[in-house]
Structure 1
């Protein structure tokens, strides 16, 4: 039987691409996201790429809401009797100057980008101890770079990076905890940044201009590194922050 992996934010972008790749490798998947219809499209893509119907389960849930972590744990147990890995990919991004961005926006970012991953890890830790499993958090180079207008998002991701390294020590040796830190990856996230279309266009141009490899990333540029961290080649890796950004953070 294949590994059992829960992927959050599986309805679009990087999460969907990762799910399809894992399904093709025979992984049993719990697909987690806010929108049921998007999860069902991801499931269809997984089945088209070789996944088996009984091996691909969807769970529509808002991870920022109370009880969401327990719902993920319970769904994994009900469908697969356990869990081998958790990929904390779900995230929200909001950009804007400090004076124009209220604190409630920051609180929501922290709930989605930091508190929810922490709650999920805590809730499924007994399952991962039993399987000697692994956690992969999807961070961002936004948590490394100091960029005006992106302080809230950067602070949330920096917190996730610290959580990764701290829990890698705390949960070892039974559970490995690593993170992948993508640069600018061209996904649906850029349609929902809380800024207008002209600002998004300028942002995209800036990302390309400041990336040494001359383009934004694609989900398929990042997915193989997550797959590697989930697999047998990474059994001596924990606490790593793996940067995949086209050189932008150099």
Structure 2
């Protein structure tokens, strides 16, 4: 598996799944534009990989973000071959307790921002027979009491993936990975208190046949496989669960 010479954008690359993806893509030989809200962890990754990395400290949902990301990637590496939409926002709570404004915030990050980045990158992606990988969630396919808003945004991302796969074929491939529970800093930012978070983690482990959380590198390897045209050149519109068996 090699991504030599490819220019890839990875959003949400500062920590967690996104960082695991960025490192896997870099190790496969790609040049990577890493995007995240906090510059310091992005700079740390850039220092390790040098000129193979371009940094964009950017909220993907901010106005003009997609245009800026594409401009940085093409200025740094002369082209753009692939986009990995990993940046996500997760806020949990039952319908009668959660702030409805959080649904708008999650939709902006989890659905609208990926769509806009694909749109802005499309001329480059078409020129290079490019690829898009959206990082969704098993929450987009399973019922999720207490996490309905989040699950709804991931279901929307799944639908976007499948529709764009047909719309953009044969020039651009569009796929999604649906991770199960992965141990990331996201668990400290869901809006739940510590007791509820721990209870949810216990329930998730109990419903995962492999009996453990995943890690970002395991997701990153699948991303690399989908980006590699030699391995996945005839794969588009796929929603691939990488979830320890949770959707089995």
- TM-score of the superposition, structure 2-length normalised? 0.96
- Using the TM superposition, give the Cα deviation of residue 220 of structure 1 relative to its aligned residue in structure 2, in angstroms: 2.3
1:11–1:41: 8 Å Cα contact kept in structure 2?
Answer: no
- Partners of 2:126 and 2:105 in 1: how far apart? 30
Which shifted more, 194-203 or 14-23?
A: 14-23
Which shifted more, 219-228 or 27-36?
A: 219-228
Counterpart of 2:22 in structure 1 is: 19
Q: Where does the alignment leave 5 or more consecutive residues of structure 2 unmatched?
A: none
Question: SS where residue 70 of structure 1 aligns?
Answer: helix
User: Is it true that 1:193 corresponds to 2:196 in the alignment?
Assistant: no
CA RMSD, Structure 1 to Structure 2 (Å): 1.0
Question: SS where residue 57 of structure 1 aligns?
Answer: strand
- Using the TM superposition, give the Cα deviation of residue 2 of structure 1 relative to its aligned residue in structure 2, in angstroms: 1.8
- Partners of 2:64 and 2:120 in 1: how far apart? 10
Counterpart of 2:117 in structure 1 is: 120
- Using the TM superposition, give the Cα deviation of residue 216 of structure 1 relative to its aligned residue in structure 2, in angstroms: 1.3
Give deviations 1:174-210, integer Å, cap 9, x for gaps.
0000000000001111110011011111111111111
Q: How does 1:69-148 map to 2 (within 5 A)?
A: 69-148=66-145
Counterpart of 1:9 in structure 2 is: 12
Q: How does 1:141-156 map to 2 (within 5 A)?
A: 141-156=138-153
Q: Where does the alignment leave 5 or more consecutive residues of structure 1 unmatched?
A: none
- Using the TM superposition, give the Cα deviation of residue 38 of structure 1 relative to its aligned residue in structure 2, in angstroms: 1.7
Residues 102 and 12 (structure 1 numbering): CA distance in 2 closer, same or farther, change over 3 Å?
A: same
1:12–1:42: 8 Å Cα contact kept in structure 2?
Answer: no
- Partners of 1:245 and 1:214 in 2: how far apart? 11
Counterpart of 1:42 in structure 2 is: 45
Counterpart of 2:239 in structure 1 is: 241
- Using the TM superposition, give the Cα deviation of residue 238 of structure 1 relative to its aligned residue in structure 2, in angstroms: 0.2
- Partners of 1:206 and 1:41 in 2: how far apart? 34
Give deviations 1:114-141, integer Å, cap 9, x for gaps.
0000000011000100011000000000
2:32–2:53: 8 Å Cα contact kept in structure 1?
Answer: yes
Q: How does 1:209-220 map to 2 (within 5 A)?
A: 209-220=206-217
User: Is it true that 1:227 corresponds to 2:230 in the alignment?
Assistant: no
Aligned length: 244
Which one has more relative contact order, counting CA pairs under 8 Å at least 6 apart? Answer: 2
